[in-house]
């Protein structure tokens, strides 16, 4: 146990020493002219290059992704209708469909499906 502690402390010391040496030998500066110059356009931007991200758009995208995955799960349920036990198939598909309907109702109730916000 003692040997393992010594080895671990040596590994940590050597890795920290290598990080410190690489930071000291780094030739890059924070105000490098190539980094602060405009990229390929020839003019300085007057505003921030980043635009405000719409959370509403993100939520609609996530909802679309969830329903897309649900459709991908529903298609095999329909295709195995002929080869499975009818009672088990009905119980599983009904349970899954009820969960989907409850999720849709919850999203509708939270006004997450409004496209105009």
For the stretch 46-100, pLDDT in tens is: 666 666 777 777 777 888 888 888 888 888 888 888 888 889 888 988 898 898 8
pTM: 0.46
Q: Where are the alpha helices (DSSP H) in the chain?
A: 2-24, 33-36, 55-79, 86-109
Query: CA 30, CA 38: separation in Å to the nearest integer?
Result: 16
Please state, in angstroms and as integers, the Cα–Cα distance from residue 15 to each residue in 5, 10, 20, 40, 59, following that order. Answer: 15, 8, 9, 39, 42
42: DSSP letter: S
């Amino acid at each position: 146990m003692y040997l393992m502690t010594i080895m671990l402390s040596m590994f940590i010391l050597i890795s920290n020493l290598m990080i410190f040496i690489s930071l000291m030998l780094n030739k890059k500066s924070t105000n490098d002219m190539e980094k602060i110059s405009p990229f390929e356009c020839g003019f300085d931007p007057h505003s921030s290059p980043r635009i405000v991200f719409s959370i509403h758009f993100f939520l609609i995208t996530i909802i679309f992704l969830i329903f897309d995955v649900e459709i991908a799960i529903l298609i095999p349920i329909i295709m195995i209708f002929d080869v499975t036990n009818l009672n088990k198939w009905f119980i599983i598909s009904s349970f899954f469909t009820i969960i989907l309907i409850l999720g849709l109702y919850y999203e509708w109730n939270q006004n997450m499906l409004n496209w105009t916000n």
